[in-house]
């Protein structure tokens, strides 16, 4: 029997045109032969997971990375065709692909459109040419404008940009003009993240040696506040701590993560949550390819666990509180058979007293304005 519960699929494409200086996402620069072998293994994974699946309809598909748009047109076509053949999507499914302006062409956009893609998430990061250079991005500001215009011409009406603040040498005024440029483009959605120094990246090493002039904490807080003011003032409501959207354009796929809905994961390094099981496909590409090509009965995983009810509740609170709407008390109680206040009496009381969270009349526990600035304290409070 087919059920209508919400569920999604995440596909990780672990390839990029060049590695950015700050990036610790799972991605490599590879030649076409390697990419071809990888996709032979990927097809096996898709076949194996799809045949174990039973009859499910998916409401979202998110193809991320890495940079899916570095794939050549024929491969993009095959990828979309494979996913549509092996999985069933609802008629109004949200189908997103992450793209970079440097690797996008009219032909690729056309291929995505014909393959049912109805949402693009573009890695823009900044509208300041020198900051793009500092980040090691391959695209120019001009290419962002060209890609947007081309996408609109082909009928894409749900476009998102990723932007970053807290960058080396970045001023609040520069951040403000990047936000204004995104608004000017007419995007439907903005993801605005602060730079995190991840171990193993070039930025991390440079920072250790005192070579990165990063904005101080007050400036970074001011930048966050600027986004929370400027984007909603232009009709892009903040619906999650780092995400803003015009009405009706919040990312359905990401909401699925934040509300504990199931999603399949496909591709090296992808993390899934499916039927009470959390799994992460191995990041080791050789192991991934060997595993699926030679021993498809054994999934090549980096992690597999079956979180108990306590862990599930903790995670639900941790991710749910990221949404500005907060966590709905009765929904929590329906799902877990207990009330938030009974499971977390101390945490709720402390956060209420500190003015970081509040109960609404609709029984949502949500971040206060102050709580948005100290989000990490709130998100980590539920882990027991
Ligand atoms: S394009 Fe994205 S995934 Fe690729 S290296 Fe840069 S930040 Fe990382």
- Computed on alpha carbons and rounded to an integer, the radius of gyration of the chain in Å comes to 21
- pLDDT tens digits for 308-338? 999 999 999 999 999 999 999 999 999 999 9
- Report the alpha-carbon distance of residue 253 to residue 326 in Å, rounded: 17
Contact assessment for residue 382 and residue 314, using Cβ atoms and an 8 Å cutoff: yes
Distance between CA atoms of 252 and 83, rounded to whole angstroms? Answer: 19
Return the exposure string of 144-155: e unless at least 16 CB atoms fall within 10 Å of the residue's CB, then b.
bebbbebbeeee
Measured in Å, residue 25 CA sits from the centre of ligand 1 at 7
- Asked if 129 and 140 count as a contact pair (C-beta separation under 8 A), the reply is yes
Tell which one of 23, 104, 143, 161 to mutate to probe ligand 1, the residue whose CB is within 8 A of the most ligand atoms: 23
Is residue 1 scored above 50 in pLDDT? no
The CB of 251 under 6 Å from ligand 1? The reply is no
Residue carrying the six token digits 């008629």 = 91
Give the separation between CA 71 and CA 16, rounded to whole angstroms.
Answer: 9
* Residue 325 DSSP code: T
At 339-352, the pLDDT tens digits run: 999 999 999 999 99
Using pLDDT thresholds of 50, 70 and 90, give the confidence band for residue 296: confident
Q: With CA atoms as reference, report the closest residue to 15 among 55, 67, 63.
A: 67
**Atom 3 (ligand 1) nearest CA:** 66
Q: Please indicate whether residue 268, judged by its CB atom, sits closer than 6 Å to ligand 1.
A: no
For the residues 224-231, what does the mean pLDDT come to? 98
Q: What are phi and psi of 152, to 5 degrees?
A: -65, -40
Ligand 1 contacts CB of residue 65 (under 6 A): yes
Query: Which residue's entry shows tokens 């990246």?
Result: 201
Supply the pLDDT for residue 4.
Answer: 53
Is the minimum distance from the CB of 20 to ligand 1 under 6 angstroms? yes
Q: Which two tokens stand for residue 216?
A: 């101080």
> DSSP of 25-37, one letter per residue?
SS-B---HHHHHH
| Nearest-5° Cα angle at 322, 203 to 380 | 75
- Cis peptide bond prior to 66, omega within 30° of 0: yes
- Ligand 1: nearest atom to the Cα of 23: 8
For residue 2, pLDDT over 80 is answered with: no
How distant is the alpha carbon of residue 19 from its chain centre?
18
Does the Cβ of 23 fall within 6 Å of ligand 1? yes
What residue spans define the domains of the chain? 8-258, 326-380
Is the pLDDT assigned to residue 3 strictly greater than 50? no
- Residue 276 has phi, psi (to 5 degrees) of 75, 5
Q: Is 57 left (phi over 0), alpha (psi -120 to 50) or beta?
A: beta
Q: Which of 17, 20, 134 to mutate to test the pocket of ligand 1 (most atoms within 8 A of CB)?
A: 20
Q: How confident is the model at residue 384 (pLDDT cuts 50, 70, 90)?
A: confident
CA distance 264 to 50: 10
Share of the chain above pLDDT 90, in %: 93
Task: Single out the residue of 187, 186, 70 nearest to residue 119, CA to CA.
Answer: 187
- 3-state class (DSSP) for residue 154: coil
CA 20 to centroid of ligand 1, rounded, Å: 5
- What pLDDT is stored for residue 241 in this prediction? 98
| Two structure tokens written together for 382 | 């539920």
Mean pLDDT of the chain: 96
> Is 25 near ligand 1, meaning CB less than 6 Å away?
yes
* pLDDT for position 295: 87
Q: Does the Cβ of 195 fall within 6 Å of ligand 1?
A: no
pLDDT, mean of residues 170-183: 97
- Going from the Cα of 23 to the center of ligand 1, the distance in angstroms, rounded, reads 6
Q: Is the CB of 68 under 6 A from ligand 1?
A: no
Quick check: 178 and 215 in contact, CB under 8 A? no
Q: Is the pLDDT score of 5 beyond 80? A: no
- Does residue 64 have its Cβ closer than 6 Å to ligand 1? no
Tell me: pLDDT of 166 over 70.
Answer: yes
Per-residue pLDDT reduced to its tens digit, 30-72: 999 999 999 999 999 999 999 998 889 999 999 999 999 999 9
State the closest ligand 1 atom to the C-alpha of 137, by its place in the atom list counted from 1: 6
Longest Cα–Cα distance in the chain: 60
Atom of ligand 1 nearest to the CA of 18: 5
Q: What is the pLDDT of residues 103-141, one digit of tens each?
A: 999 999 999 999 999 999 999 999 999 999 999 988 999
Rounded CA-CA distance 261/304 in Å is 18
Residue nearest to atom 2 of ligand 1 (CA): 66
Domain 8-258, what fold? TIM Barrel (3.20.20)
């Amino acid at each position: 029997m087919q059920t209508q519960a919400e569920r999604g699929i995440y596909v990780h494409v672990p390839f990029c045109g060049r590695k950015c200086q700050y990036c610790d996402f799972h991605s490599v620069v590879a030649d076409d032969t390697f990419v071809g072998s990888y996709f032979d293994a990927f097809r096996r994974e898709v076949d194996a997971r799809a045949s174990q699946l039973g009859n499910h309809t998916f409401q979202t598909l998110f193809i991320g990375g890495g940079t899916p748009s570095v794939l050549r047109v024929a491969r993009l076509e095959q990828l979309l065709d494979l996913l549509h053949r092996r999985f069933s999507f609802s008629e109004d499914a949200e189908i997103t692909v992450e793209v970079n302006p440097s690797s996008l062409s009219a032909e690729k956009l056309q291929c995505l459109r014909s393959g049912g893609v109805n949402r693009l998430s573009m890695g823009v990061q900044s509208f300041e040419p020198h900051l793009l250079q500092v980040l090691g991005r391959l695209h120019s500001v001009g290419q962002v404008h060209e890609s947007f215009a081309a996408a609109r011409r082909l009928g894409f009406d749900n476009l998102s940009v990723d932007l970053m603040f807290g960058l080396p040498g970045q001023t609040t005024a520069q951040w403000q003009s990047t936000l204004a440029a995104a608004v000017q483009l007419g995007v439907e959605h903005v993801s605005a993240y602060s730079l995190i120094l991840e171990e193993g990246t070039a930025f991390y090493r440079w920072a250790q040696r005192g070579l990165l002039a990063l904005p101080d904490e007050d400036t970074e807080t001011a930048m966050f506040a600027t986004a929370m003011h400027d984007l909603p003032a232009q009709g892009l409501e903040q619906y999650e701590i780092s995400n803003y959207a015009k009405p009706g354009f919040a990312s359905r796929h990401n909401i699925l993560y934040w509300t504990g809905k199931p999603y399949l994961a496909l591709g090296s390094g992808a993390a899934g949550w499916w039927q009470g099981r959390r799994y992460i496909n191995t990041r080791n590409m050789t192991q991934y390819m060997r595993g699926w090509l030679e021993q498809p009965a054994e999934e090549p995983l980096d992690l597999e666990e079956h979180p108990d009810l306590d862990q599930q509740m903790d995670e639900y609170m941790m991710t749910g509180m990221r949404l500005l709407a907060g966590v709905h008390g009765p929904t929590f109680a329906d799902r877990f058979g207990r009330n938030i206040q009974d499971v977390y009496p101390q945490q709720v009381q402390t956060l209420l007293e500190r003015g970081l969270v509040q109960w609404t009349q609709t029984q949502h526990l949500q971040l206060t304005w102050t709580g948005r600035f100290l989000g990490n304290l709130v998100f980590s409070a539920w882990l027991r």
